[in-house]
Amino acid sequence: MSVAFAGNSTTTPSREAGPLRVMVVDDSVVIRGLISRWIGAEHDMEVAASLRTGLEAVNQIERINPDVAVLDIEMPELDGLSALPQLLAKKRDLVIIMASTLTRRNAEISFKALSLGAADYIPKPESTREASAADIFHHDLIQKIRHLGARLRRKAAVASPPLAPASPAPAVRGPVARPAVPAPAPAVHAPSSGPLSTRPFSTQAPKVLLIGSSTGGPQALMSLVTELGPVIDRFPVLITQHMPPTFTTILAEHLARSSRRPASEAVDGEPVKAGRIYLAPGGKHMRVVRSGADAAISLDDGPAVNFCKPAVDPLFTSAIDVWHGNILSVILTGMGSDGMRGGKDIVAAGGSVIAQDEASSVVWGMPGAAANAGICAAILPLNQIGAKVNRLFAGDRS
């Protein structure tokens, strides 16, 4: 058994104290070593265990007691997808990030894992010898661990408020066991000061719906599009989800099934029409350009924007040249601030922005950036966004 423990204990440590404990589960000794070194170099996380199979993870989970698990899909004895529900059954608040190479089969498995309770997924590079691929994998993995782990601790802090000072107890004979009270932990999230301000919705009728999302986005998108049939039938819907190639192909298929409307990866040069969903393909930025009196898709292989490719900002900003202020944009759950600058441009042109609220977001980075920038006309739970969008396209301006 290939196991390396760090500070194992049968007791549950405070979720608000100390670095995030990460369990790395992968049958490749090279990948385990690489990820472990990256985690060990971060001040706010540590390697709780390095394991070779899903079976080892299931058998050791209670002893290791990690906050986050990076779980490979293809492993001997017990693969990642089979281990996932068993791990969550033993530790329901465990944050699990699925890791897999970019194949269609693994993309399908990753989507299945999300439906079974995985928090997110990350594609592994085909070869760690490619510096650029390894750098992207490194950056994305550390950010996912940090942001998803921080969300876990915020939830734990809400669920376990500080204890009130106790009243003096009556005198008793003999020793008294006193519960240990952990010292206050440093804040992992700085909430906005006071209520967030919103602006009025545009008085211009929207003619296109633009959506941007990242971490937690696939589940949010599949839920949202089930409610958008009336909008999709009459207006084009364009979506940028931070996602690699192959994964976007699978996501488009899922969106088509969820919406019962045509949905596919956008193709360079194709006309933008009502009645379908256009998804930015992984590894390409999707923009919109004028094509005579109509609009067309423009894909490019330029550098990453906001560390992302595809990125939301290029789509949002480019749409202004086509639809001017007749734009409604929605920013869903995701890390970082992608979409905020493009959202500012849309508002300046006369359009509107809706952001998903913090409570319903997996990570309140992208929508939080837009909300804190004061560009949103509404900040709504995911289950209220669809109805609001339908009303706005039907003529509501409030």
C-alpha 25/C-alpha 98 separation (Å) is: 10
Which residue carries 């996912």 as its tokens? 144
C-alpha 386/C-alpha 305 separation (Å) is: 28
C-alpha 247/C-alpha 277 separation (Å) is: 16
> In degrees rounded to 5, what are phi and psi of residue 123?
-80, 135
* CA angle, 203 then 205 then 207, to 5°: 145
Helix-, strand-, coil-residue percentages of the chain, each rounded to 5: 35, 20, 45
- The widest CA-to-CA distance across the chain, in whole angstroms, is 91
C-alpha 156/C-alpha 152 separation (Å) is: 6
* CA angle, 326 then 380 then 327, to 5°: 10
Mark whether 93 is an active-site residue: no
Q: Which of 147, 242, 254, 285 is catalytic?
A: 242
Per the DSSP assignment, residues forming a β-bridge with 99 are 72, 122
C-alpha 224/C-alpha 131 separation (Å) is: 37
Mark whether 242 is an active-site residue: yes
Q: Which of 50, 100, 214, 352 is catalytic?
A: 214
Q: Which of 338, 352, 357, 361 is catalytic?
A: 338
Tokens at 150, concatenated: 């921080």
Which among 197, 210, 195, 196 is positioned nearest to 351, based on CA atoms?
A: 210
Burial class (CB in 10 A: 0-12, 13-18, 19+), 312: buried
CB contact at 8 A, 255 and 211: no
> In degrees rounded to 5, what are phi and psi of residue 102?
-85, 80
Which among 129, 124, 130 is positioned nearest to 98, based on CA atoms?
A: 124
Mark whether 352 is an active-site residue: no
Q: Active-site residue numbers?
A: 214, 242, 338
